[in-house]
A and B are shown apart, each in its own frame.
Chain A
Amino acid sequence: MATRRSTTVHLWELAWILPSFAIPVGMLAALAVTAFGAGINLVGDQGRIDPTKVAEHSLFKEPGVVQIAPGQYEVRLTAQIWTFAPNEIRVPAGSTVHFWATSKDVVHGLLVPRHNINVMVLPGQISHAQARFDTPGEYPIICHEYCGIAHHTMAGKIIVEPRP
């Protein structure tokens, strides 16, 4: 009886430990597939920039929207207390928008809900994020890091226009 009991306990433990390995491993595999198979990437190292001389950098000389190819737009964005420049972006539906962003002062954030645009904007660093906008409408661009007393006013918008 005593032997049987200890075996049972051992099996219970094993029945827990094996899934405890398998669940995280399975989730990691799923992550790897989406990251490297589907190409849903995180921001990486894009090089430094002098936060006191942002306007002298080739990317941020003239913040704005540039069409780089058919259906491909590049947004050169600077963040500063408490605005984005540009703060209104217009693209036709179906466009892929590449954001390049940096901060001129404190830490800011760049969030476009439901579009996989969620990146920190740090002074001294260049951030990159990209997303496709298929549905016409107006989407907020939100600073999602506390950046001072008027942080909640720091926002812009993306206006996705119907294709003519």
Chain B
Amino acid sequence: MTATERRLAAANLIVALVALFGGVTTGLFQALEYAGLEVYPSLAPVVRSHYHSLSIHGVLNALVWTTFFICGFLPFVLSRSLGVPLASAGLGWLTFWIMTAGLALASIPLVGNAATVMFTFYPPLKAHWAFYIGLTLVVAGTWLVTWNLALTWRAWRTRNPAVRTPLPAFMSLVTFVMWTIASLGLAAEMLFMIIPWSVGLLSGTDALLARTLFWFTGHPIVYFWLLPAYVSWYTLVPRQAGGKLFSDPMARTSFILFLILSTPIGIHHQYADPGIHQGWKLLHALLTFAVFFPSLLTFFNVVASLETGGRARGGTGWVAWFGKLPWGDPSLAAQVLAMVLFAFGGIGGLVNASFNVNMVVHNTAYIVGHLHLTVGTAVTLTFMGITYWLVPHLAGRPLWSSRLALGQVWLWFAGMMIFSPSLHELGLRGMPRRTMIGHISYMQPDWKSLLPLVGIGGALLFVSALLYFLNMVLTVTASRRSEQPALEFAEALSGADQSPAFLDRWRPWLALAVILIAVAYGPTLVRLAATTPFISPGFRVW
């Protein structure tokens, strides 16, 4: 590990945190709007509408904050875990600048209200071409990260032919390889449909084909966000809890299952779409339930690891050990609370995945509640927890205030406990998502009572985020320089040496992943690609 990895991680983190700031600020506006507070008139002309704000919120939080954090964090983890520098520092910086340039390009129309199309940008809504090209450059940048990580791993492998790949490096590489395969759908949608159409080379488009290509990537992208959190839960949190990882082979098994199963399940986002036969929807439901299995393995392994920590610190009983975890460490507290809420997020996700049961919740506020437990807490609160050691480590300065950080973490948890259940319940009562609820004509009496809770929860989350940024800024500027502890990974009770060799192979698992994708998506994609006329004109109606 050299200074390059640290600087690269820091550069990516800066972009990620700036994006998160924009994302949580716009998020506050939406929550207040739900609660009936009229904020948009006072924000003009910067924020032009609820939907403008919502598009910025989704793009910055779901796409930018996550992606840049991950592109900073995982290369850092892989390099430290293998004990070698990245294969190419130059490629690393080129990647960072391509992604940042792409983000800057996409931001111009996004901020200028020329891309108010949500982070899913379903055509025939037609944004400015710069939005699409900018986002595509960010995705292309992530492929270069994969390439750099693969080169680094191969160089390490030739020097260490007989050793198991250390778990943190293995997981980081699996995450990026999975994402690279999964992102081909989005790449195809952008390169063959949307970009040529947005610059005028194609006169029309097609909603269904675009949605199908989008969701090819759109579901696995949540695993691209989630797996880096798992990397931390598996390889760092057990040590922070004072314990050991329960099982290294079980952890590898779950990641290989994610590599195989993350992509061929995207049609579960299209249960309500006409034009796709019910049989394919059922197959994707089945495979979605299959990907629940590695999540359950992760739950078991991570909780068992925490338990070793709780018991090592004097905890006893079936559950009482949980209280003995080092709750005073904000990094650990953030991540354990993220896990607690993710349990509910996972269960709620099963409802979404459940084929016809999905009709009760599809495109309702329930989905918003779900997304804020998963990407908004399991991922975001974990990433915040990671920065509580990573930023001091990179800056060479201790965290400005541990108590402030603890307060921030619990406030996020409390805010989300109000925000997310309210949205889940509103969804069950039929309230649609992505709608300016304060101005609807069809307000139902049983929605009204819950809407203020969305505003209160959202406001608490916003205050929590402000405390987080305050602590980060003060750590980097006002904390006194001092030696920070080096990054150490958790040891395992059942270690890498007990892991069978086939768990460290790539070809069979990649082959299986490709075959499953071909089976689950091949017929639908071939049929749509062969029969779809691009005749839908574009609309700019915001």
Q: Mark A106-133, 1 if CB is under 8 A from B, else 0.
A: 1101010110111111111111100000
**Within 8 Å of chain A (Cβ to Cβ): is B25?**
no
**A97: Cβ under 8 A from any B Cβ:** no
A27-35, A55-63, A68-76: which lies at the interface: A27-35
**How many Å lie between the Cα of A103 and that of B211 in the bound state?**
15
A: number of interface residues (CB 8 Å): 62
In Å, the complex CA distance between A120 and B297 comes to: 35
Q: Are B364 and A111 in contact (CB under 8 A)?
A: yes
Q: Say whether B322 faces chain A, with CB atoms less than 8 Å apart.
A: no
Closest chain A CB from B340 CB (angstroms): 18
Binds A, one of B13-21, B174-182, B384-392, B430-438: B430-438
Contact with B along A5-47 (1 / 0, CB 8 A): 0000100110011001101110110010011000011111110
Given the interface contacts A35-B355, A118-B360, does A149 sit within 8 Å of B297 by beta carbon? no
Q: Is B282 an interface residue (CB 8 A)?
A: yes
Contact partners of B296 in chain A: CB under 8 A: 16, 20, 23
- Chain B residues 346 to 384 lying within 8 A of chain A, measured CB to CB, are 350, 354-360, 362-364
Known contacts being A105-B539, A107-B122, is A142 close to B290, with CB within 8 Å?
no
Tell whether B337 is near chain A: CB-to-CB under 8 Å: no
Q: How far is the CB of A70 from chain B (nearest CB, A)?
A: 27
Instruction: Kindly state whether residue A162 has any CB partner on chain B within 8 Å.
Output: no
Q: Would B124 and A144 count as touching, CB distance under 8 A?
A: no
Asked if B292 lies at the interface with its beta carbon under 8 angstroms from chain A, I say yes
Contact at B429–A43, with CB atoms within 8 Å?
no
- Given the complex, which residues of B lie within 8 Å of A160, measured CB to CB? none
Task: Type the 1/0 row for B233-247, where 1 means its CB is closer than 8 Å to any CB of A.
Answer: 000000000000001
Cα distance, A52 to B539, chains bound together (Å): 13
User: Which of B247, B272, B494, B542 interacts with A119 by CB under 8 Å?
Assistant: B272
Contact with A along B195-234 (1 / 0, CB 8 A): 0000000000011100100000000000000000000000
**Contact (Cβ within 8 A) A28 B272:** no
Which one of B273, B278, B440, B533 contacts A120 once the chains associate, using CB atoms below 8 Å?
A: B273
How many contacts between A and B, using CB within 8 angstroms?
A: 191
Closest to B429 in A: A113
Whether A24 lies near B277 (C-beta < 8 A) is: no
Query: From residue B188, how far is it (CB to closest CB) to chain A in Å?
Result: 18
Task: Report which of B208, B297, B440 forms a contact with A155, defined as CB distance below 8 A.
Answer: B440
Contact present for A45 and B274 (CB under 8 Å)? yes
Q: Say yes or no for B482: interface residue by CB 8 A criterion.
A: no
By the criterion CB–CB under 8 Å, are B436 and A21 in contact?
Answer: no
Q: Evaluate contact between A152 and B439: CB separation under 8 angstroms.
A: yes
Cβ contact within 8 Å between B51 and A24: no
Which residues 278-296 of B sit at the A interface, judged by CB distance below 8 A? 278, 281-282, 285-286, 289-290, 292-293, 296
A89 adjacent to chain B (CB < 8 Å): no
* Interface presence of B271 (CB below 8 A): yes
- In chain A, what residue has the closest Cβ to B439? A152
Separation of A12 and B206 alpha carbons in the complex (Å): 51
Contacts of A157 in B (CB 8 A): 442
Residues of B within 8 A of A45 (CB): 274-277
Q: Within 8 Å CB of A23, what residues of B?
A: 296
B51, B274, B297, B536: the one contacting A127 at CB < 8 Å is B274
Asked if A65 lies at the interface with its beta carbon under 8 angstroms from chain B, I say: no
Give Cα A20 to B290, complex, Å.
Answer: 10
Kindly state whether residue A67 has any CB partner on chain B within 8 Å.
Answer: no
Say which size band chain B's interface belongs to.
Answer: 35 or more
Contact A123 B124 (CB under 8 A): yes
Residues A13 and B274 in contact, CB atoms below 8 Å apart: no
- Please pick, from A16, A107, A123, A142, the residue contacting B300 in the complex, using a CB distance under 8 A: A16
**Interchain CA distance A123-B538 in the complex, whole Å:** 11
**Pairwise interchain contact A51-B273, C-beta atoms closer than 8 A:** no
Please report the C-alpha to C-alpha distance between residue A128 and residue B359 in the assembled complex, in whole angstroms: 13
Q: Does B90 contact A (CB under 8 A)?
A: no
* Structural contact, A145 and B286, CB atoms closer than 8 A: no
- The answer to whether A146 and B51 touch across the interface, beta carbons within 8 angstroms, is yes
| Complex: A127 Cα to B274 Cα, angstroms | 5
Enumerate chain B residues within 8 angstroms of A117, measured Cβ to Cβ.
359
Q: How far is the CA of A106 from the CA of B363 in the complex (A)?
A: 16
| A27 engages B441 (CB within 8 Å) | no
B456 lies within 8 A of chain A by Cβ: no
Closest to A111 in B: B432
Does A134 belong to the interface (CB within 8 Å)?
no
Verify B124–A107 contact, CB threshold 8 A. yes
- Cβ contacts B302-323/A at 8 Å (1 or 0 each): 0010000000000000000000
Whether, in the assembled complex, B476 has its beta carbon less than 8 Å from a beta carbon of chain A, the answer is no
Q: Verify A148–B278 contact, CB threshold 8 A.
A: no
A153 at the interface (CB under 8 A from B): yes
Q: Does any Cβ of A come within 8 Å of B501's Cβ? A: no
A120 to chain B, nearest CB (A): 5
Nearest B residue to A128 via CB reads: B274
Q: In the complex, which residues of chain B have a beta carbon less than 8 angstroms from the beta carbon of A151?
A: 51, 434-436
**Contact between A125 and B274 (Cβ–Cβ < 8 Å)?**
yes
Cα(A52)–Cα(B205), bound, Å: 12
- With A107-B125, A111-B430 known as contacts, the answer to whether A28 contacts B285 (CB < 8 A) is yes
Chain A residues, CB < 8 A from B407: none
Q: Is A159 an interface residue (CB 8 A)?
A: no
Please tell me if the beta carbons of B297 and A20 are within 8 angstroms of each other in the complex.
yes
Choose among A24, A116, A123, A149 the residue that contacts B290 (Cβ–Cβ < 8 A): A24
B527 CB → nearest A CB, Å: 9
Which parts of A135-164 form the interface with B (CB within 8 Å)? Answer: 140, 142-149, 151-153, 155, 157
B207 contacts A13, C-beta separation under 8 Å: no
A81 close to B (CB within 8 Å)? yes
B159-182 interface mask toward A, CB cutoff 8 Å, 1 = contact, 0 = none?
000000000000000000000000
State whether B355 touches A149 (Cβ < 8 A): no
B535 at the interface (CB under 8 A from A): yes
Please name 16 further chain A to chain B contacts, defined as beta carbons within 8 Å, in addition to the given A24-B289, A45-B276, A124-B208, sorted by A numbering.
A9-B494, A28-B289, A35-B282, A42-B355, A42-B356, A105-B539, A106-B124, A107-B122, A114-B430, A125-B273, A148-B125, A148-B542, A151-B434, A152-B437, A153-B439, A155-B440
- Sample of 6 A–B contacts (CB below 8 Å): A24-B289, A46-B274, A118-B358, A124-B207, A144-B363, A155-B442
* 5 nearest A-B pairs in the assembled complex, by CB-CB distance: A113-B430, A148-B541, A144-B432, A24-B289, A20-B296
